[in-house]
Structure 1
Amino acid sequence: MYSTYEFWRKKRDEKNMLTVLRHQVAQDTSLHLYIFFKFETLQKFSDMTRQHGCTLLWHWDFTDTPLGFLFQKPIIGLVEFDCSDPKSDPAGAFFQSFFTALESRVMVSDDPTFPDKAKPLLAYDYSPATFMGTEEEKPKTFNITDELMNVGALLTYRVEIYDQPVGKANYWMEFLCVNDSRDELY
């Protein structure tokens, strides 16, 4: 399965993990770094890709779905960073705003088909009410980290701010999940 690491990091040091991860991914041409984002408009994806040196692999617009009017951020998408390019800035893209970081997820994989496999999982995790399959195809129990690891993620990373202990108002809670069956990243 996978190991989960949880730790507090000062917000001023927020980019440390993704900067280190970017450098590790840049050293191995088989590894790819992806970030899943949620935005209000497709233009925000365009602006981000231009500013942070990444490529939008796919997006899904929920505005035209039956419950689309309920979503504050109706467009989701997966971007890929070429970590060998010095203009690539996954940490800057991930932490471009407080709310972007809290609703995004970083993934690393060496499987070239990973983005296609992750798309329905990320869409279902974001909006299970819009699932367009048969009752038999609908997941019974669903944990997005489990599902991403099963389709080829070597690690996932996200941040939260809930349950901050007293005196930790300037900290993120970071969650790093590493696929135990793959030890190349250690």
Structure 2
Amino acid sequence: MPSGRTHDRITMYALPFVAGVTFWQTRSSNTTLLVAGGFLFGGLMFGPDLDIYSVQFQRWGFLRWIWLPYQKSLRHRSFLSHGPIIGTILRVLYLGCLLAILAIFVLTIAEKLGNLSFTWQDLGGTVGRSLVDYDTEYIALFVGLELGAMSHSLSDWGGSAYKRVQKQGIRGLFPNGKIKKRKVMRGGRRPRVKK
């Protein structure tokens, strides 16, 4: 498994490629900036290794305590933290819920002090319109976050597979190091198994 420094190098070396391909496909500098920014943030601070005491975790500085419940509830390298799409969705939902709780707390205090007048329906409507009006931007940012996370996960999986192949040969790529052969009858059918 690559070290934190190796993951950082992979992120930095892949960034121009991700930005170039995004711009080539979209011809939009705004979309390219969102994908590239999401990729950089996803690779350096918002990746799968937030489930352990890692370089990514340490980069959150005095805010790293917000990731402790996340770490306690997930096993390292589980599908929920390192899995494609689901890992990023879970981290986005987790951070989004924390930010929503903080926003509600701050807005409630501001409302009680009389410095702000709003209704919760207006706030909900504003958030809903934002999600609809800027859906392309949110998708571009999510794609960048996911690409950053997957660069991390793929390098973990590739590094582990490489080490297994070095030790066990090609059998290291298969579960339990065994290559299972299937019996096939004439006509390409498999034999029935008696119960």
Is TM-score (shorter-chain normalized) higher than 0.5? no
TM-score (norm 1): 0.26
Larger Rg: 2
TM-score (norm 2): 0.25
More helix by proportion, 1 or 2?
2
More strand by proportion, 1 or 2?
1
